[in-house]
């Protein structure tokens, strides 16, 4: 997943990095095809160049050697709301048919069965980044028809589009999973199956999704990570297996 | 620290101990627990382990926040026990924003405005969960903008690398929202690793984040941010953050932790003495920046 996500990033882009797998994907991209990727962390590090894989998005290694360190009011107002972020990476406990993400509660808000951490910067990243990429492992409970709580807005609900609601960014364009890649349909906004990992069938992906998954007429093959990618991930970027658990 | 908390933190106050991962003043939180403050409204972007401990110790009536997890590890279990399902203790009220929303609240508070506008929250359920997130029509363009109310804490506690005796405070590394939180607050307690002469502050004024004129008290407390960190002084104790998962998940273990490391010590110096290997494990390497020419 990290290698597939890394390929989505183009050299020179400005990316708002979240913790976990996105962090690994961004650092892999920087070490391979996108050396000029600009990593911005909500903690205030701009153009970070971490010498160790950060455990949190506030790790001191993000500061050392970065291009700029600013306060969080600047991160959200001068970078994000200003429109400077090209790619936002989001994960979540639940992702639904239209790419809405829930990181707030499972169950009702007033009496949640499971209380999740909440938005952090995710809501505003989903609103403002020119495009967002979602990274999540397939599982029908994690991919319900509709999320219990919309923390980060996807491609619209009840037929109301993002533009109509005044959202500057295009929202989630892809969902990168551990079995295939979903893409937002340009007209309906629905997440549809677009590519499969080697040895995986469309039915395997459907089994991990809680709604009848539409398919592109021709499904692409996801190119597996190269040996060089794997060596970088396992030996250099995440030798302690902070994120490469699964 | 004892005097500063006793004088400036009162039962029922809105208390902000800010610092985004970096410079979180655990020493102040522990002193507030020891002095058994009650009915506090605790506000922070990321409650982190320190508010989880203060919630467990019974200091909090309400939590105002935007991301309540253990960064890179998992959950804050005392917080979760207080708000989840049928096990909810019911004793903790919550008021929830996103990071941008919390930052905007401090910005409004610091500018002494009643609210702050931001382009956000359309398509989300956050305004439904928190009716204090509202909208206003822009008087120039008519665009509907989200608003959040000012946050003006009774007391804000900021940890920093150094300050002079008058409270002119310098920090480097991640500076989070500390400047806004301090300016928004009625009272400000600054806690530092090093107390330095005024001449050191004056030699590098661009690094001053909080001016002495808004500071109520300066406390010198080396290692006062542990298990958070202080850039150039000590690293984040990631091992402790991982260990907190097991401690906070079990209410008995959490109680024993508070007994031993909070109630069981009189101050931060004693806390460090109990953990003699900590300093060697976390002490920062030297990487000094080149100074700049302030001459004219």
Residue A246: pLDDT above 80? no
Interface test with chain B among A24, A60, A65, A80, by most B beta carbons within 10 Å: A60
Contact across the interface for B85 and A112, Cβ inside 8 Å: yes
Q: How confident is the model at residue B90 (pLDDT cuts 50, 70, 90)?
A: low
* pLDDT tens digits along B237-273: 999 999 999 999 999 999 999 999 999 999 999 999 9
Query: How are the residues of chain B apportioned to helix, strand and coil, as percentages rounded to the nearest 5?
Result: 35, 20, 45
Instruction: Name the catalytic one among A8, A13, A42, A86.
Output: A42
**Contact residues, chain A, for B85 at CB < 8 Å:** 107, 111-113
**Contact residues, chain B, for A123 at CB < 8 Å:** 98, 100, 120-121, 124, 126
**Contact residues, chain B, for A58 at CB < 8 Å:** 20-22, 71, 174, 236
Residue A98: pLDDT above 60? yes
DSSP assignment of B206-228 equals GGEEE-GGG-SEEEE-TTTTTTS
**Contact residues, chain A, for B111 at CB < 8 Å:** none
- What's the mean pLDDT in A169-188? 95
Q: What is the pTM of this model?
A: 0.96
Instruction: Supply φ then ψ for residue B278, to 5 degrees.
Output: -60, -50
Residue A229: pLDDT above 70? yes
Q: Is the ipTM of this complex over 0.90?
A: yes
What pLDDT, on the 0 to 100 scale, is given for residue B87? 59
Residue A22: pLDDT above 90? no
Spatial distance between the Cα atoms of B97 and A31, rounded to a whole number of angstroms: 35
Contact across the interface for A127 and B21, Cβ inside 8 Å: no
Give the distance between the most distant pair of CA atoms in chain A: 49
Interface test with chain A among B123, B126, B178, by most A beta carbons within 10 Å: B123
Q: Is B111 on the interface with A (CB under 8 A)?
A: no
What pLDDT, on the 0 to 100 scale, is given for residue A132? 96
Percent over 90 (pLDDT), chain B: 96
- What's the mean pLDDT in B169-180? 98
Q: Closest approach of chain A CAs to the CA of B65, in angstroms? A: 9
What pLDDT, on the 0 to 100 scale, is given for residue A157? 56
Q: Is B75 on the interface with A (CB under 8 A)?
A: yes
Percent over 70 (pLDDT), chain B: 98
* pLDDT tens digits along A132-177: 999 999 999 999 999 999 999 999 754 568 888 999 999 999 999 9
Instruction: List CB contacts of A5: < 8 A, sequence separation 6 or more.
Output: A21, A22, A25, A89, A133, A135, A176
Contact across the interface for B72 and A128, Cβ inside 8 Å: no
What pLDDT, on the 0 to 100 scale, is given for residue A92? 87
Q: Average pLDDT, whole number, for chain A?
A: 93
Q: How confident is the model at residue A187 (pLDDT cuts 50, 70, 90)?
A: confident
Instruction: List CB contacts of A32: < 8 A, sequence separation 6 or more.
Output: A6, A228, A229, A232
- What's the mean pLDDT in B128-152? 97
* pLDDT tens digits along A103-141: 999 999 999 999 999 999 999 999 999 999 999 999 999
What pLDDT, on the 0 to 100 scale, is given for residue A20? 80
A42 is catalytic: yes
Contact across the interface for A63 and B83, Cβ inside 8 Å: no
**Contact residues, chain B, for A118 at CB < 8 Å:** 65-69, 96, 98
Q: How confident is the model at residue B88 (pLDDT cuts 50, 70, 90)?
A: low
Cα A128 to chain centroid, rounded: 14
What pLDDT, on the 0 to 100 scale, is given for residue A198? 96
Q: Closest approach of chain A CAs to the CA of B118, in angstroms? A: 8
Pairing assessment for the beta strands A172-176 and A180-184 based on DSSP bridges? antiparallel
Spatial distance between the Cα atoms of A24 and A6, rounded to a whole number of angstroms: 8
Q: Closest approach of chain A CAs to the CA of B3, in angstroms? A: 30
| DSSP strands (E only) in chain A | 14-17, 38-41, 45-46, 68-69, 87-90, 94-95, 101-102, 105-107, 112-115, 131-135, 172-176, 180-184, 191-196, 215-221
């Amino acid at each position: 997943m990290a290698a597939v996500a890394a390929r989505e990033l183009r050299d020179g882009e400005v990316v708002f990095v979240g913790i976990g797998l996105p962090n690994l994907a961004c650092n892999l991209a920087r070490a391979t095809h996108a050396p000029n990727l600009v990593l911005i962390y909500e903690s205030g590090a701009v153009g970070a160049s971490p010498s160790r894989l950060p455990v949190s998005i506030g790790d001191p290694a993000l500061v050392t050697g970065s291009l700029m360190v600013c306060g969080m009011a600047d991160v959200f107002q001068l970078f994000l709301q200003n429109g400077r972020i090209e790619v936002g990476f989001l994960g979540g406990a639940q992702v639904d048919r239209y790419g809405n993400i829930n990181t707030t509660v499972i169950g009702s808000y007033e009496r949640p069965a499971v209380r999740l951490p909440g938005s952090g910067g995710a809501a505003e990243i989903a609103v403002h980044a020119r495009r967002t990429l979602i990274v999540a492992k397939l599982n029908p409970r994690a991919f319900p028809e509709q999320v219990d709580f919309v923390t980060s807005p996807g491609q619209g609900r009840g037929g109301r589009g993002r533009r109509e609601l005044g959202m500057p960014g295009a929202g989630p364009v892809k969902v990168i999973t551990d079995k295939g890649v979903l893409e937002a349909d340009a007209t309906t906004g629905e997440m549809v199956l677009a590519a499969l990992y080697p040895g995986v069938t469309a039915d395997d992906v459907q089994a991990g999704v809680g709604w009848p998954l539409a398919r592109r007429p021709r499904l692409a093959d996801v190119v597996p990570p190269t040996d060089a990618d794997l060596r970088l991930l396992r030996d250099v970027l995440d030798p302690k297996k902070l994120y490469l658990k699964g | 620290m004892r005097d500063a908390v006793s004088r400036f933190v009162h039962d029922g106050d809105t208390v902000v101990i800010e610092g985004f991962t970096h410079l979180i003043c655990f020493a102040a939180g522990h002193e507030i627990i020891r002095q058994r403050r009650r009915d506090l409204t605790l506000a922070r972007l990321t409650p982190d382990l320190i508010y989880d401990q203060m919630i467990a110790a019974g200091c909090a009536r309400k939590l105002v926040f935007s991301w309540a997890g253990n960064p890179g590890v998992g959950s804050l279990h005392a917080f979760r026990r207080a708000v989840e399902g049928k096990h909810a203790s019911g004793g903790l009220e919550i008021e929830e924003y996103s990071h941008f929303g919390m930052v905007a609240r401090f910005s409004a508070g610091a500018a002494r405005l009643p609210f702050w506008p931001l382009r956000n929250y359309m398509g989300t359920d956050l305004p439904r969960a928190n009716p204090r997130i509202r909208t206003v029509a822009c008087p120039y363009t008519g665009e509907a903008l989200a608003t959040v109310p000012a946050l003006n804490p009774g007391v804000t506690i900021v940890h920093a690398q150094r300050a002079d005796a008058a409270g002119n405070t310098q920090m480097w590394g991640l500076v989070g929202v500390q400047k806004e939180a301090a300016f928004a607050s009625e009272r400000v307690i600054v806690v530092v690793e090093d107390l330095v002469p005024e001449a050191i502050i004056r030699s590098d004024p661009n690094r001053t984040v909080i001016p002495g004129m808004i500071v109520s008290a300066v406390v010198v407390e080396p290692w006062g941010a542990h298990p958070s960190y202080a850039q150039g002084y000590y690293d984040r104790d990631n091992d402790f953050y991982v260990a907190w998962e097991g401690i906070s998940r079990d209410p008995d273990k959490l109680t024993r932790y508070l007994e031993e490391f909070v109630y069981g010590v009189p101050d931060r110096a004693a806390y460090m003495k109990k953990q003699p290997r900590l300093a060697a494990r976390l002490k920062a390497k030297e990487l000094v920046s080149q100074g700049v020419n302030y001459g004219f």
